Amino acid sequence: MEMIGKAAKESGVSVKMIRHYESLGLLKGVPRTASNYRVYGENEVHTLRFIKRARNLGFSIEDIRALLSLWQDKRRPSAAVKKIAGAHMAALEQRIAEMQSMLTTLRHLSHSCHGDQRPDCPILDDLARPH
């Protein structure tokens, strides 16, 4: 009889988040003891690790919901999985590109800022640019 704390340790998902995922319907039908404690078996811990790994790869909860149901469907077409992964990769690429563009601008600005005791600061000048 495995309680939530043990499942948390084994899966790497915090107790808080295990309950949260359950409330979101990612873990269904978790049984309870007579005193209302959640009980986890191998399957649940396996699912939690799946979720953990997917979160580590940046998948959203909705993506994970879809991935879990494909995982459980032994007749899924692998194309369906690849499509989700592809969309996520595209989103990551876009976000990275945005951040890199910020970084490029910041590096230019920072490079041209003395960073000393004097008040002159191209960084502030840029932020305050009338444009």
Among 36, 43, 72, 78, binds DNA (CB under 7 A): 36
Neighbours of 45 (CB within 10 A): 19
Name the binder of 55 from a copy of itself, DNA, none, CB < 5-8 A by kind. DNA
35 binds DNA per the rule CB under 7 A: yes
Which residues between 102 and 131 bind a copy of itself (CB under 8 A)?
102-103, 105-107, 109-110, 113-121, 123-124, 126-131
CA distance 24 to 17: 10
Task: Work out what residue 54 binds among a copy of itself, DNA, none; the CB cut-off runs from 5 to 8 Å by kind.
Answer: a copy of itself
Report how far residue 77's alpha carbon sits from residue 37's, in angstroms, rounded to the nearest whole number: 37
Q: Which does 61 bind (CB under 5 to 8 A by kind): DNA, a copy of itself, none?
A: DNA
Alpha helices in 1-131 (DSSP H): 4-11, 15-23, 42-56, 61-72, 78-111, 122-127
In the complex, which residues of this chain contact DNA (CB under 7 A)?
3-6, 8, 14-17, 19-20, 33-38, 55, 60-62
